[in-house]
């Protein structure tokens, strides 16, 4: 039976998109974009950490935040399915 609970990672990716449209500065916009990409990478089992290391510190941190949170949600979902 499929779960009717929305995927929290996809929900958060959408929230990041909405926040990006409200960003007032380029760094803020880039931070939301990076967090969304980190979440997406966690879902798709990709890792762009090396590419983000040269980004401004705030952007790199936001990518890691999304990536690590996304990985935690993916692991929790796998545990729930077993």
Q: What is the pLDDT of residues 67-80, one digit of tens each?
A: 999 999 988 887 66
Give the domain ranges of the chain.
Answer: 13-81
- SS3 (DSSP) at 31: helix
Residue 64 contacts residue 35 (beta carbons within 8 Å)? no
Between helix 26-43 and helix 57-81 the angle, nearest 10°, is 30
Predicted structure pTM score: 0.86
pLDDT of residue 1: 42
pLDDT per position as a tens digit, 16-35? 999 999 999 999 999 999 99
């Amino acid at each position: 039976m499929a779960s009717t609970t929305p995927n929290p990672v996809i929900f958060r990716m959408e929230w990041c998109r909405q926040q990006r449209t409200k960003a007032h500065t380029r760094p803020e916009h880039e931070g939301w974009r990076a967090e969304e990409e980190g979440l997406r990478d966690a879902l798709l089992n990709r890792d762009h950490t090396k590419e983000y290391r040269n980004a401004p510190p705030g952007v790199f941190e936001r990518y890691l935040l999304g990536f690590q949170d996304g990985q935690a949600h993916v692991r929790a979902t796998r545990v729930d399915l077993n």
